[in-house]
Amino acid sequence: MLSVNRSGEQIGPYLVRERIGQGGMAEVYRAYQPSVRREVALKIIPLESATGQTVLQERFKQEAEVVAALEHPHILPVIDYGISDQVLYIAMRYVRGGTLRDLLEQQPLGQELAVRLFGQIAQALGYAHRRAVIHRDLKPSNILLDDEKNAYLADFGLAKMLSDVSQLTLTGAVVGTPAYMAPEQLRGDPVDHRADIYSLGVILYHMLVGRPPFEGPTAFSLIYQHIEKAPPPPHEFNPDLLPGVEHVLLQALQKAPADRFDTAEQMAQALTEALMPGLERLPGVASALPDRVLVPGAGFTLAPGAGLTGRKSVLQEMGVREDGRLLPWHRGLLLRQWPAFVVMAIALALGLWYILSGPTGAAPGLRATLLAGQAGTPEDVVASEAEVALARQALGSTGFIGYVICNQTSEFFATMARRLSDASAAHGLAFRVYDAQTDANEEIIQIERARTDGARALIVCVVDSEAVSRTLRSAAEDGLALVLHNMDEPPPYPAVVITHDDYALGQIPGRYAGQLVQEELHGHAEVVILDFPDLPSIVRRADGLEDGLLAVAPEAHIIGRYRGGTIALARQSVSRLLADGVAIDVILSINDAGAYGAIAALEQAGIAPSAVIVTGVDAEAVALQHIRQGYFMRATVAVAGERIPAASINAIVKQLAGGTLPQIIVVPPGDLFTAETVSD
């Protein structure tokens, strides 16, 4: 164990305050970064205590680079890393809720919290695996919690790039924590992502049962049990555990990797299905419904003995398919472990109530026409007074427009929610906000909650299009008007997509940078473009940056496109170029965050603010301040201002009123901000 307490020291730009964690090679401190007035978690590895410092530095560098490239809501983000006074350090976001290990030691988790935390961890792990990264040291102490008990996967110090041929550990070496490690890892065999699936199974076992599957007085005892012994059946420790949940745990803990789940998402899906009751069918529900009832405004009828047809289904609203089967999310949330006759009675009673009451005063039989795959502008969806009146009638006295927001902690999304609310109020339309907390599972829950509350239309900031596709398709099939943000392509179900002209968003600041190159640098400049190749829409924006620049300054030289998009990634890319002696005159970033990272690298290299031209996209307050002060940044463009919320509400109105509209609404860029246009 490390004995030197570094509280009170300064390491790099950080003032060390108190030690909050300690391991065999590393310590974690709460530290303070005065330049931006924030607390960070600072992980420190003393170089003098290590055998083979070159290998250690390479492993540490790998951790920082791997995690900096992983952008996921439940992976703890890296802010900075470096070497200072014979220590390696890495600065990460500081979360105050402790670790999952602390939580497990304090109290029983309960099934609801355990399943929620597991879902967040599985999402993060699946995201890392899809990017060819395995963790190799999953354990409760490497899962951090915030004040709201949201989980963040941390400490990729033992991660290995699957595509990387370099080996940082000796053949046969055991790296990790034996209590949570896969058998093949403990044997020193080569491992792949399924070793993480095993560790995930051990963690889920611990959360649901109250103890890990194997315990012993020594590390050797634990290793022997993981390699040779079958895990104790979980119901021996938790008799209330459903058999399906036990099956999920035991499959994840199979000795052979091929017998486990192949992905974390598969395991999460299996757990969701296992939490459903054993009841598979509700006999007689469809035939017990009335012969034929017209539901005003819903666009469907009931036929004798056949349930519902058309745009909505009361059976689906109640969690029952037309063939009598339960829909998955209702199995898990509404019908868990209820007797069949109780479920049938409740579903039938609620279904009849819905049919007989119906939306008050709704406009009967209106159906919107979406021009599939066709793109339009906000002007194409401006709603008339007659359409607004029909939309009010369709909502009735209890219906409303629900906005499922990506999160409520971002200034951008908070402003979007306010503007949507204002636009709804201007039309006399009820409006409610549901917070997805940047979590795909939570977004599904919030969409379903809005539907249960009576939403007749939804505006959704899509967190993960694949994860929520089934839920959104169900809402569309049930006749809800849908407007989706944050999607590159229109979905295969009825919904309007509001998107940006990303090429134009890049072209505008690119052309302005070209003007500056012509005026200030005589047409010649060495230019870096900060891109984010994982997202096609952002690549189009980077194309716009390059084309805009070269259209005005054709003699400018593009050094290359480098990974940006976040402060950490951009800083890393620009720092490497500067360290290699590359001269840079202009940096074009696909967003303001990347511009901040570039500026941090330029600052660290001692480059004067007037020596490099930097542009961004988003028109954030910090970017505007930099432009106003002449501090590196010379321009940034607003994404769309108030046009997105106005177009979103208008698109909802036209759908509720049965109008015709394009499926894709492309919102042009907002204003370009420069030193000439930014006011004090």
Asked whether 477 and 493 are in contact (CB, 8 A), the reply is yes
Kindly report the number of other CB atoms within 10 A of residue 467's CB atom. 18
Q: Which residues contact 655 (CB under 8 A, 6 or more apart)?
A: 368, 370, 457, 481, 482, 496, 661
- The single residue listed with the structure tokens 């951008």 is 412
Residue 597: name the closest of 77, 6, 39, 26 by CA: 77
394-418 burial, b at 16+ Cβ within 10 Å, e below that, comes to bbbeebbbbbbbbbeeeeebeebbe
In the numeric block, which tokens belong to residue 527?
Answer: 């230019």
**Which of the residues 80, 85, 102, 137 is marked catalytic?**
137
Specify the amino acid at residue 548.
G
Tell me how far apart the alpha carbons of residues 191 and 163 are, in angstroms, rounded to a whole number: 13
CA angle 604, 558, 564 (to 5 degrees): 50
Longest CA–CA span in the chain (Å) reads 82
Q: Which residues contact 627 (CB under 8 A, 6 or more apart)?
A: 633, 634, 635, 636, 673, 674, 675, 678
DSSP for 409-472, written as a single string: SSHHHHHHHHHHHHHHHHTT--EEEEE-TT-HHHHHHHHHHHHHHTEEEEEEE-S-HHHHHHHH
Specify the amino acid at residue 595.
A
In the numeric block, which tokens belong to residue 160?
Answer: 């290995």
Tell me how far apart the alpha carbons of residues 147 and 150 are, in angstroms, rounded to a whole number: 7
- Determine the distance from the C-alpha atom of residue 320 to the mean position of all C-alpha atoms in its chain, rounded to a whole number: 30
Tell me how far apart the alpha carbons of residues 140 and 180 are, in angstroms, rounded to a whole number: 9
In the numeric block, which tokens belong to residue 149?
Answer: 């008990």
Number of Cα atoms under 13 Å in the Cβ half of residue 32: 8
Asked whether 369 and 420 are in contact (CB, 8 A), the reply is no
Among this protein's residues, is 502 annotated catalytic?
no
Tell me how far apart the alpha carbons of residues 90 and 577 are, in angstroms, rounded to a whole number: 21
In the numeric block, which tokens belong to residue 145?
Answer: 């919690």
Number of Cα atoms under 13 Å in the Cβ half of residue 218: 3
Tell me how far apart the alpha carbons of residues 458 and 450 are, in angstroms, rounded to a whole number: 8
Tell me how far apart the alpha carbons of residues 584 and 384 are, in angstroms, rounded to a whole number: 52
Q: Among all residues, which ones are annotated catalytic?
A: 137
